[in-house]
Amino acid sequence: MYSDKVMENFKNPKNTGEILDADGVGTVGNPVCGDMMTMYIKVKDNRIADIKFKTFGCGAAIATSSMTTEMAKGKTLEEALKISRQDVATELNGLPPVKMHCSNLAADALHAAIKDYYKKQQASTEVKQ
């Protein structure tokens, strides 16, 4: 059902866990649907210096989470925002069609974490002003 690369990322996922003092946190999905993930990012000089995830879900959900963190690490925020679900699936040598929508949420979680970072930045700037 899954490509070897999906299985490798499911078996040995990279960047699992949480960042307690994260600069941005994004959660997407819902346990009712069977997939939910949270992305934590640490930002330094406008780049993603560290990234971790927590995922409840199927093999595809865990593998896309792992792959997305690998793809985003070291990228500028602008570059990371351009990572799409399709890019993640391509990097994993494809996903079963049925999984493209329900379990391929990691890019969305990454974008949500970056937006959360921007929002926090804005808030702290406003406080300073």
Partner 1 sequence: MVTTAKIINLDYGAGKPVDKRVIDTMLPYMNTRCGNPSSLHSMGQEAKNALHRARQQVSELINAERAETIIFTSSATESNNLAIKGTANRNKDKGTKIITSSVEHMSVVNPIKYLTTKGFESSFVPVNNYGEIDLNTLEKELNERTILVTMVFANGEIGTIEPIKEISKIVHEKNAILHVDATAAAGQIPINVQDLGIGLMTFSANDMYGPKGVGALYIKDGLRIEPLIHGGGQEKGLRSGTENIPGIVGFGKAAEIARQEMQVHLQKLTKLRDRFMEGLLSQLPYTFLNGHPTKRLPDNVSVRYSFVEGESMLLSLEMNGVLVSSGSACASKTLEPSHVLLATGLKHEEAHGSIMFTLGRESKIEDIEYVIGLMPSIINRLRDMSPLTPKEVKNVLR
The residues of the shown chain that bind partner 1, judged by CB under 8 A, are: 2, 4, 7, 10-11, 13, 16, 27, 31-38, 54-62, 98-99, 102-103
Least distance between partner 1 and beta carbon 111 (Å): 17
CA–CA–CA angle 89, 33, 4 (5° rounding) = 30
Min dist. Cβ of residue 61 to partner 1 (A): 8
- Provide the sign of the torsion angle of the four alpha carbons 81, 32, 99, 57, taken in this order: positive
Residue placing its CB nearer to partner 1 in the complex, 33 or 49: 33
What strands lie across the sheet with 24-30, from one edge to the other? 24-30, 35-44, 47-56
Is 33 catalytic? The answer is yes
Decide whether 97 or 127 has the Cβ nearer to partner 1: 97
- Catalytic residue among 1, 33, 49, 98, which? 33
Catalytic annotation on 102? yes
As measured in angstroms, the least distance from the Cβ of 125 to partner 1 is 29
Beta carbon nearer to partner 1, 52 or 111: 52
Active site residues: 33, 102
